[in-house]
Structure 1
Amino acid sequence: MNLFQLRAFDAVAREGSFTRAAARLFISQPAVTGHIKALEEHYQITLLRRTARRVELTEEGTRLAAITRAMFGLAEEAQAMLEANRQLLTGRLEVAADGPHRVMPMLAQLRARYPGITVNLRLGNAQETLAALLSEHADVAVLTEVEPRKGLHLQSLGESRMCALLPVGHPWVDGQGELPLAKLDRQIMVLREPSSITRRTFDQACAEAKVQPRVLLELDSREAVTEAVAAELGIGIVSSVEVAHDPRVVARPIAGNGLINRHMIGCLQRRRELRLIQAFLSLAEQH
Structure 2
Amino acid sequence: MNLFQLRAFDAVAREGSFTRAAIRLHISQPAVTGHIKMLEEHYQIKLLRRTAKRVELTHEGGQLATITRAMFSLVEEAQNLLEANQQLLTGRLEVAADGPHLVMPLIASLRALYPGVVVNLRLGNAQETLAALLCEHVDVAVMTDVEPRKELRLQAMCVSQICALVPIAHQWVGKRIGIEQLDQQIMVLREPDSVTRRTFNRACEHSGVKPRVLLELDSREAVSEAVAEDLGIGIVSSAEYSHDPRLGVVTIVGDGLTNQHMIGCLERRSQSRLVEAFMELANTKQGA
Structure 1-normalised TM-score? Answer: 0.96
Q: Which is worse superposed, 223-232 or 95-104?
A: 223-232
Question: Residue type of the partner of 2:61?
Answer: G
Find the counterpart in structure 1 of residue 106 from structure 2: 106
Counting aligned pairs with the same residue, the percent is 72
Structure 2 CA distance for aligned equivalents of residues 131 and 270 of structure 1:
16
Q: Of residues 222, 227, 230 in structure 2, which corresponds to 1:229?
A: 227
Is the 8 Å Cα contact of residues 240 and 253 (structure 1) preserved in structure 2? no
What are the residue-to-residue correspondences of 1:147-226 with 2, within 5 Å? 147-175=147-175, 178-226=176-224
Q: Which is worse superposed, 70-79 or 146-155?
A: 70-79
Matched, 1:21 2:35: no
Structure 1 CA distance for aligned equivalents of residues 173 and 52 of structure 2:
50
Structure 2 CA distance for aligned equivalents of residues 82 and 235 of structure 1:
52
Compute the displacement of 1:86 (Å).
2.3
SS of 1:60's equivalent? helix
What are the residue-to-residue correspondences of 1:116-155 with 2, within 5 Å? 116-155=116-155
Structure 2 CA distance for aligned equivalents of residues 49 and 198 of structure 1:
37
Question: Residue type of the partner of 2:2?
Answer: N
Is the 8 Å Cα contact of residues 167 and 229 (structure 1) preserved in structure 2? yes
Is the 8 Å Cα contact of residues 17 and 54 (structure 1) preserved in structure 2? yes
Structure 1 CA distance for aligned equivalents of residues 7 and 39 of structure 2:
11
Is the 8 Å Cα contact of residues 199 and 257 (structure 2) preserved in structure 1? yes
Runs of 4+ deviating beyond 4 Å? none
Distance 1:235 1:149, change over 3 A: same
Structure 1 CA distance for aligned equivalents of residues 233 and 84 of structure 2:
52
Question: Residue type of the partner of 2:89?
Answer: L
Find the counterpart in structure 1 of residue 251 from structure 2: 253
Is the 8 Å Cα contact of residues 80 and 91 (structure 2) preserved in structure 1? no
Is the 8 Å Cα contact of residues 174 and 250 (structure 2) preserved in structure 1? no
Compute the displacement of 1:241 (Å).
1.1
Q: CA RMSD in A?
A: 1.1
Compute the displacement of 1:35 (Å).
0.3
Structure 1 CA distance for aligned equivalents of residues 82 and 109 of structure 2:
26
Count of aligned positions: 285
Compute the displacement of 1:22 (Å).
0.6
Q: Which runs of 5+ in 1 are unaligned?
A: none
Structure 2-normalised TM-score? Answer: 0.96
Structure 1 CA distance for aligned equivalents of residues 276 and 87 of structure 2:
13
SS of 1:84's equivalent? helix
Find the counterpart in structure 2 of residue 34 from structure 1: 34
Question: Residue type of the partner of 1:20?
Answer: R
Structure 1 CA distance for aligned equivalents of residues 187 and 266 of structure 2:
38
Compute the displacement of 1:283 (Å).
1.0
Q: Of residues 263, 266, 272 in structure 1, which corresponds to 2:264?
A: 266
SS of 1:244's equivalent? coil
Compute the displacement of 1:113 (Å).
0.7
Structure 2 CA distance for aligned equivalents of residues 89 and 117 of structure 1:
7
What are the residue-to-residue correspondences of 1:76-91 with 2, within 5 Å? 76-91=76-91
Compute the displacement of 1:173 (Å).
1.5
List per-residue Cα deviations over 1:36-78 (Å, max 9, x = no partner): 0001111111111122221111121111111111111112222
Structure 2 CA distance for aligned equivalents of residues 277 and 202 of structure 1:
32
Structure 2 CA distance for aligned equivalents of residues 48 and 60 of structure 1:
9
